[in-house]
């Protein structure tokens, strides 16, 4: 979600849903490693890492939300930021591609 014109929080939100806490843990680790190795980025702040129900990874201009399905539905960020343009991120995209979206 491109929120740069409607939010002072970040420019881009990425929303990801995993099917289990274990899968969310793997998603978070994969994103962290990929952004560090491919784009030289490290998170400024991470929340929710203890339970992996909703993990927020703050890269300042880019904020990644990794949810369990029920948490994503409950918080409804798509509804909250409904005016934000959306870009589908595919499995084939690299961390560098995602960084370009955030730039």
Using one digit for the tens of pLDDT, what is the confidence trace for 69-89? 999 999 887 776 666 656 666
Structural domain count of the chain: 1
Q: Is 83 part of a structural domain of the chain?
A: yes
Q: Is 1 part of a structural domain of the chain?
A: no
Question: What is the average pLDDT value for the chain, to the nearest integer?
Answer: 81
The answer, yes or no, to whether residue 5 has pLDDT greater than 80, is no
Q: Is 75 part of a structural domain of the chain?
A: yes
Q: What is the pLDDT of residue 98?
A: 56
What is the rounded average pLDDT of the residues 42-50? Answer: 92
Task: From 85, 90, 96, 93, select the one nearest 13 (Cα to Cα).
Answer: 85
Q: Is 2 part of a structural domain of the chain?
A: no
Q: CATH number of the domain at 25, please.
A: 3.30.460.10
Rounded distance, CA 43 to CA 76, Å?
Answer: 23
Q: Is 50 part of a structural domain of the chain?
A: yes
HSE (side-chain half, CA atoms, 13 Å) at 41: 26
Helices (H) and strands (E) in the chain, counts: 4, 4
pLDDT-derived band at 67, boundaries 50, 70, 90: very high
Kindly report the CA angle at 71 between 21 and 61, in degrees rounded to 5?
A: 90
Rounded distance, CA 32 to CA 59, Å?
Answer: 10
What is the rounded average pLDDT of the residues 16-45? Answer: 92
Q: Range of 45's domain?
A: 12-102
Rounded distance, CA 18 to CA 25, Å?
Answer: 9
């Amino acid at each position: 979600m491109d929120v740069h014109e409607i939010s002072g929080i970040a420019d881009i939100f990425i929303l990801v849903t995993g099917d289990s806490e274990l899968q969310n843990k793997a998603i978070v680790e994969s994103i962290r490693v990929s952004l560090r190795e491919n784009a030289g980025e490290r998170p400024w702040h991470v929340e929710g890492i203890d339970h992996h129900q909703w993990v927020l990874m703050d890269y300042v201009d880019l904020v990644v939300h990794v949810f369990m399905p029920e948490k994503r539905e409950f918080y409804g960020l798509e509804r909250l930021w409904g005016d934000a343009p959306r870009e589908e991120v595919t499995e084939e995209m690299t961390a560098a591609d995602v960084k370009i979206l955030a730039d």
